[in-house]
Structure 1
Amino acid sequence: MNTTSLILCDNLKNTASLLPTHLNQHLRYLDMALPPKFAGQKLQFAHPPASDSAVAHTTHTLEFYLDYCCPFSAKIFRTLQNDVIPAIKANPAWASSLTFIFRQQIQPWHPSSTLMHEAALAVLRLAPEKFWEFSAVLFDEQQDYFDVNVVNEKRNDTYRRLAKVAAKVGVDADKVFELLVISDKPGEDGALNAGNKVTNDVKVITKMNRLIGVHVTPTAVFDGVVQDVSSGWTKEQWIEWLQKNVV
């Protein structure tokens, strides 16, 4: 690739968040990337087969953009956990050909959304193997973080409750809280708005999602293309979709 092409690619990446969603969908090379520190968001159903081929084994990728404070995200997550994932595991052809990625999509009109996703990022850092299990519990308890239930609560008190959710799946609550807590003292450099120890991770997932142009939760993206799926789908509808697409 020549210098001009490299500059063009950089410019496309930098301006992708300004493009309409239908144009963003053409920037498929930006999709499906997952930083190693977020590896816990990936769910693989089978170990990749050993191969001497120069062509690496590659699966289909189904990404779910979900918000912990969104009732429809909770609904689709439960269907995935209770019906879809067991069906995939029971079918070796599907299990070896499909990878799930949980994309954390903060919805800013839900003020608790950021705090809930920060807690998940803390779990990712401390015990990535617990991420999906933690997500299941947090979705089950999401109403505890709806507006009415947090409006009179201090931010660090909400973090403390979220840390206790992590403890339910075996993650050290004190260590989670340590990553989340906001100091009431200025930083060493005098900073008054520096956030907490997962703030930089929040910035990363937000930048990644903006490049793709996702707005609605839940959103499903299959091999880089947004899919017309619904949180109301039944197990039978998902099975039909898998039969058509995972080939």
Structure 2
Amino acid sequence: MALPPKLKGHRLTFTDSVAYAASYEPLHTLEFYLDYVCPFSAKMFNTLTNVTTHIRANPELRTRLQIIFRQQIQPWHPSSTLVHEAALAVQRLTAGDAGKFWIFSADLFRNQASFFDEAVVNETRSQTYRRLARLAAESVGVDEAEMCRLLEVKQGQGGDEAKNAGNAVTGDVKTIVKMARLTGVHVTPTVLFNGVVVGEISSGWSETQWEEWLERNIV
């Protein structure tokens, strides 16, 4: 599935060679459907981070493969939406530096327990947003106030009728949810290879298992 330009930071390629223009499309695509408050997603992401070192070191892999992070909100955890909104806000604020989306994602997974159900149950939505904005500022240097502005749900003024309008990244949330619905992905993590779900891939895979699978399939 195509990646909207506004989500370009979700795409990870592995060659900086001038022989490959920014529009270059590698032969193979791995898509990872991950939820920031899912422990199994965190486990897979952390292993994947180490595997990318192997990909970069292998000329055959780095020129033939791209990875796409697909944000998968799991609504039975109410904070999931808020945390994914924060990642979308960082994507918007750092559009000129795609690597920062991945750095912030790593920090969200590293701090995911801070946004589990039990950690947010006694705080307001706005308080959770402020903690996420602070984490983003510390992680990738975005302006904390600007981050809060993107996440803020503005209250009606005076006698204004409630509008249920969401915040500045609600449109991006709708995009990622609609895209996930088109694939029918439900479980996190889920991995697609060239558009097809690969059921054998597990969050429990080691780096060695990943490397062996890549060597067999990236041809």
Normalising by the residue count of structure 1, what TM-score does the alignment of the two structures yield? Answer: 0.81
Contact 2:34 2:41 (8 Å CA) reproduced: yes
Corresponding residue for residue 112 of structure 2: 142
1:177-196 map, 5 Å:
177-185=148-156, 190-196=161-167
Contact 1:60 1:97 (8 Å CA) reproduced: yes
1:78 to 37, 46, 54: 46
Q: Cα distance, 1:185 vs. partner?
A: 2.1
> CA 1:180–1:241 in structure 2 vs 1: closer, same or farther (change >3 Å)?
same
Q: Give the whole-Å Cα distance in 2 for the aligned partners of 1:36 and 1:223.
A: 19
State whether structure 2 residue 34 is matched by structure 1 residue 66: yes
Q: Deviations over 1:26-69 (max 9, x none)?
A: xxxxx2x0000000000000147749xxxx75420000000001
State whether structure 2 residue 202 is matched by structure 1 residue 230: yes
When the two chains are superposed, the root-mean-square deviation of aligned CA atoms in Å is 1.8
Q: Deviations over 1:86-128 (max 9, x none)?
A: 0101111100010000000000001100000000000010103
Residue type at the aligned position of 1:125: R
Larger Cα Rg: Structure 1 or Structure 2?
A: 1
State whether structure 2 residue 135 is matched by structure 1 residue 165: yes
Corresponding residue for residue 221 of structure 1: 192
Contact 1:62 1:98 (8 Å CA) reproduced: yes
Q: Cα distance, 1:184 vs. partner?
A: 2.5
Q: Give the whole-Å Cα distance in 2 for the aligned partners of 1:176 and 1:105.
A: 21
2:147 to 176, 191, 194: 176
Q: Cα distance, 1:244 vs. partner?
A: 0.6
> Which ranges in structure 2 are unaligned for 5 or more consecutive residues?
none
Q: Secondary structure at the match of 1:64?
A: strand
Q: Give the whole-Å Cα distance in 1 for the aligned partners of 2:187 and 2:25.
A: 32
State whether structure 2 residue 80 is matched by structure 1 residue 113: yes
Contact 1:122 1:176 (8 Å CA) reproduced: yes
Range 180-189 or range 200-209, more displaced: 180-189
Q: Give the whole-Å Cα distance in 2 for the aligned partners of 1:92 and 1:240.
A: 16
Corresponding residue for residue 87 of structure 1: 54
Q: Secondary structure at the match of 1:221?
A: strand
Contact 1:61 1:101 (8 Å CA) reproduced: yes
> CA 1:189–1:214 in structure 2 vs 1: closer, same or farther (change >3 Å)?
farther
> CA 1:200–1:57 in structure 2 vs 1: closer, same or farther (change >3 Å)?
closer
Q: Give the whole-Å Cα distance in 1 for the aligned partners of 2:13 and 2:189.
A: 20
State whether structure 2 residue 101 is matched by structure 1 residue 131: yes
Contact 1:66 1:103 (8 Å CA) reproduced: yes
Q: Give the whole-Å Cα distance in 2 for the aligned partners of 1:189 and 1:85.
A: 51
State whether structure 2 residue 10 is matched by structure 1 residue 41: yes
Contact 2:156 2:162 (8 Å CA) reproduced: no
Contact 1:186 1:192 (8 Å CA) reproduced: no
Q: Cα distance, 1:183 vs. partner?
A: 1.9
Residue type at the aligned position of 2:8: A
Identity of aligned residues (%): 60
Residue type at the aligned position of 2:59: P
Q: Give the whole-Å Cα distance in 2 for the aligned partners of 1:246 and 1:205.
A: 27
> Which ranges in structure 1 are unaligned for 5 or more consecutive residues?
1-30
State whether structure 2 residue 192 is matched by structure 1 residue 207: no
Residue correspondences, number: 211
Q: Secondary structure at the match of 1:101?
A: strand
Q: Give the whole-Å Cα distance in 1 for the aligned partners of 2:41 and 2:114.
A: 16
